[in-house]
Amino acid sequence: MTAKLDYTWNLREIMAARGMFNTTDIRPHLAERGITLSPTQIWRLVTEKPERLSLKVLVALMDILDCRMDELIVPTATTRRAKAVGGNADPGSEPNSGLGGLRPKRARVTDS
C-alpha cells in the first residue's frame, strides 16, 4: 500500500469563528503586516485549498487569526492499494471515474 498525502485548509472556518465572514475582511489585516494581495488572490486563498503559500502569508494569517499552523493546515494521509498486474486494485481508481462503481444511469427521454 502507498500513502497519498493531502491536507485540509481551514482558513474559512477559522475566519468565521473570529467573526470574519467575507473574504475581504482579512485584506486590511494583511495590509497592516505589509502583505498586499489582490481581491482575487484573497478570494482564492480563503475559498480554495492553496497549492503554494508564502511563509510570510502563512505567518501573517496565524498572527491575524491567533491560531497555530496545525489548526490552519491539517495533514491527512490516505492509503491506496498498489495496482495489481493487469488491473486496478481500487474500483474507483480508473481515470475520470471519481465515483468508482457508482455511475448514474443515462436517462432515456421518450415521447408519451
The DSSP secondary structure of the chain, one letter per residue, reads -EEEEEEEE-HHHHHHHTT--SGGGGHHHHHHTT----HHHHHHHHHS--SS--HHHHHHHHHHHT--HHHHEEEEEEEEPPPPTTS-SSTT-STTTSSTT-PPPPP-----
Map grid coordinates 481515470 to a residue.
95
pLDDT (0 to 100) of residue 55: 96
Predicted local distance difference test score (pLDDT) of residue 70: 94
Residue 100 is predicted with a pLDDT of 58
How far apart are alpha carbons 86 and 36 in whole angstroms?
Answer: 52
Residue 99's pLDDT is what?
Answer: 55
How far is residue 13's CA from residue 16's CA, in Å, rounded to a whole number?
5
Question: Facing residues of 5 across strands?
Answer: 77
State residue 82's pLDDT score.
58
> For residue 86, what pLDDT is reported?
54
- How far is it, in rounded angstroms, from Cα 100 to Cα 74? 26
pLDDT of the residue at 103: 63
What CA–CA distance (Å, rounded) separates 35 from 1?
A: 42
> What integer pLDDT is reported at residue 36 of this predicted model?
95
Residue ranges of the chain with per-residue pLDDT less than 70: 1, 79-105, 112
User: pTM (2 decimals)?
Assistant: 0.66
Look at residue 31 in the predicted model and tell me its pLDDT.
96
pLDDT at position 96, please? 52
